[in-house]
Amino acid sequence: MDKKFYKIISSINVINLLLSALLIAFMFYYNEIIASISLVVFLYVLLSEYYGIKKKRLELDKYIENIFFNVDKASKTVLAKMPLPAVILNDRGEVLWHNSTYLQIFNENEEIKKAIKKYVTAKLEDRKNQIEFNGRYYSVLKIDSSSKKKKEGDLSCTLLFFDNTEYIQLKKFLAYDKPVIGHVMIDNYEEAMMSVEDIKKAVISSEIEKKLTEWASSIKAFIKKYDNDKYFIAFKEDGLKNLEENRFEILDKIREIGEDIKVPLTLSIGIGAEADDFLTLNEYASTALDLALGRGGDQVVVKRGDRIAFYGGRTQAVEKRTKVKARVIAHALRELIKESSTIFIMGHNFMDFDSLGAAIGMYRACMSLGKKAYIILDKSNVSIDELVKKVKSTKGYEDLFIKSSEVKSIVDQNSLLIVVDTHRPSYLNYPEIVNFIDRIVVIDHHRRGKEFIDKAILVYLEPYASSASELVTEILQYIVEKIDLTPIEAEALMAGISVDTKNFTFRTGSRTFEAASFLRRKGADTTSVKQLFQNDLNSYIIKASIVKNAEITDNGIAIAVSPTNADNLIIAQAADELLTIKGVKASFVLLEREEDVAISGRSMGDINVQIILEKLGGGGHLTVAGAQVKKPMEEVLKDLKEAIKEYFEEEGEDK
């Protein structure tokens, strides 16, 4: 605005001068005497104006210089006498000047000089706006020099230090003083007590209570027993920090009691933290305990809002001998099916024998109750092609399968969705379906992960079970009296159990054999089931090449990258085959597909492949797990090796 104004004034003065000069020149034409006098006057006025302006400008410059000198002098005095430490640095982070307060507090200490230099020379995104010195914390205010540096080593910036130690200490105190709530449950307590003599029951119960009381006392916690196998615990955040640092050693201590009585006795703990009220804390703790139990027990889950941390879970889930829960679930499911108009059954993406077998079993349950049901399957895959073809060629199953694009035209408010062999929405064959069907049932045997179908109104998640097909087989025995299973349905369920147990060698309990026995009585032909698993020569060659090119680490981990012409079944079989090699404790086989990289993990039991693959977004069980990662193969391979490294670091083992 000022510049424009002065330009206008200057332009007016120039015009006046030009007009005056032109007028004088015109006067010379008529009267030279008057014109000469006018010229002298014009020149005098012009020179007077020039020297007057020059004098005023010099006075103004001197005035401004005095102002700046006085301000600069005052600012230097203030900076020197300021009760805050202050330093002036050059562009190399070296101290050019400091005030007396800086000298009193830091005393020319070399460590603080190094800290200052590190602060100034650090990149902006890496710079921490706080310096710690001699047990105190100082926040830093950086004032850059506005003048241009003439040469290297000139003034660069000024630093002011604010002592906020009290604030930091108060913040830490309040953070560590926050309340924490936990629910503690002894896994399979009743089964353990049933297997020992009456005289020892009181001793074992007393020993468990003693260990828990000592544990609570070590973190200054209040603990209260409210059932034979359940406890409530309340303590502070600093106690939780200590527990996380020692990775909840109480799990090992309770496990040792079980080892002494030759009964698998473990602990599950759910902890809620970082909430504004006790109601929310309790909700977090309850959710965390459900999550711990859903993952097989023998672990601690800490829930801080949306953040969830897992500790333990290194042991195999213990099989429950009682089938009471299966009977209760079957009765509840029967009522839901009866109340439904149409039932949709869905497994995970890239269906396997267990997913398809469980889906076919649930189809039979719905049909036995007189309800129409469909299995959602957009396309088959090499793993299940033989079974799908066999089912489709059997009379009565012509309209069993339906594509996801057809679901919306059939669904209504009374429709029911039964999800089998997964509990993660992102793993579904048609994930969007959970958004427009409100009545959902989940039947799964995988350890529960962070992602879950929260809308489910009935959940049957049992990590001890060998397969989803085993769970469905148990449900079928109670859902209607003397259910009429066809041989093809029995074989589909048997195939699901067989593939997940590796022909009854892994994760096989007494209830697994009972389920297989029931299916055998219903017409399942083991020879026909075995034929479903047969590979052609090309598949066998691919599997052999995977095993041949596997890399075996010092920890007994075999990692192999599969050729792109393999499929899920081949990499699963290759992972199983790698376990037959002496010295191999766990195996991982990776397959690059069109949209992602599939990982199949297997273990002999010493290494928990589920925890490793959870770090990559996967899940499963201690001995059998998988993951689907949407990254390039090189990145997935790097992430897998890093996850394995972290697993052994957490276990405290040498790599």
- Per residue in 588-614, pLDDT tens? 999 998 888 999 999 988 888 988 998
Q: How far is CA 300 from CA 279, 293, 488, 626, 655, in A?
A: 20, 9, 42, 22, 25
Retrieve residue 159's tokens: 């630093």
Position 13 scores a pLDDT of 63
d(CA 363, CA 350): 19
d(CA 165, CA 238): 19
CB distance 507 to 624 below 8 Å: yes
Angle at 145 between CA 103 and CA 154, to 5 degrees: 75
Position 411 scores a pLDDT of 92
d(CA 214, CA 208): 10
Tell me the per-residue pLDDT of 477-534, one tens digit each, with 9 for 90 and over.
999 888 989 999 999 999 999 988 878 877 788 889 999 999 999 999 888 888 888 7
Position 418 scores a pLDDT of 96
Position 9 scores a pLDDT of 44
| pLDDT higher than 70, residue 426 | yes
Position 256 scores a pLDDT of 85
Averaged pLDDT of the chain: 83
Q: How far is CA 334 from CA 260, 423, 441, in A?
A: 43, 20, 11
Q: Which of 62-76, 556-570, 601-615 has the lowest mean pLDDT?
A: 62-76
Decide whether 177-312 matches 538-651 in CATH topology: no
% of the chain with per-residue pLDDT over 70: 89
Tell me the per-residue pLDDT of 132-189, one tens digit each, with 9 for 90 and over.
888 888 888 888 766 555 455 555 788 888 888 888 888 777 777 889 999 999 987 8
Structural domain 177-312, CATH architecture:
2-Layer Sandwich (3.30)
- The mean per-residue pLDDT over the stretch 536-547 comes to 89
Position 652 scores a pLDDT of 60
d(CA 110, CA 70): 35
d(CA 553, CA 356): 35
Instruction: For residue 648, count other CB atoms closer than 10 A to its CB.
Output: 16
Q: Which residues of 167-200 are buried (b: 16+ CB within 10 A; e: fewer)?
A: ebeeeeeeeeeeebbbbbbbbbbebbbeeeeeee
CA-based max dimension of the chain: 143
Question: Where do the domains of the chain lie?
Answer: 2-80, 86-169, 177-312, 324-532, 538-651
Position 320 scores a pLDDT of 58
CB distance 453 to 435 below 8 Å: no
Q: With bands split at pLDDT 50, 70 and 90, how would you rate the model's confidence at 653?
A: very low
51 versus 390: the higher-pLDDT residue is 390
Return the closest-CA partner of residue 616 out of 605, 631, 606, 603.
Answer: 631
Position 6 scores a pLDDT of 45
What is the layout of strands, in order, in the sheet containing 155-163?
95-98, 86-90, 155-163, 136-144, 130-133
For residues 602, 450, 419, 314, the Cα torsion angle rounded to the nearest 10 degrees is: 30
Instruction: Write phi, then psi, for 366 (nearest 5 degrees).
Output: -65, -45
Retrieve residue 576's tokens: 């199983």
| pLDDT higher than 50, residue 255 | yes
CB distance 428 to 407 below 8 Å: no
Superfamily covering domain 324-532: inorganic pyrophosphatase (n-terminal core) (3.90.1640.10)
**Domain 538-651: which topology?**
Diaminopimelate Epimerase; Chain A, domain 1 (3.10.310)
H-run or E-run covering 45: helix 32-81
Q: Which residues contact 59 (CB under 8 A, 6 or more apart)?
A: none
H-run or E-run covering 575: helix 568-578
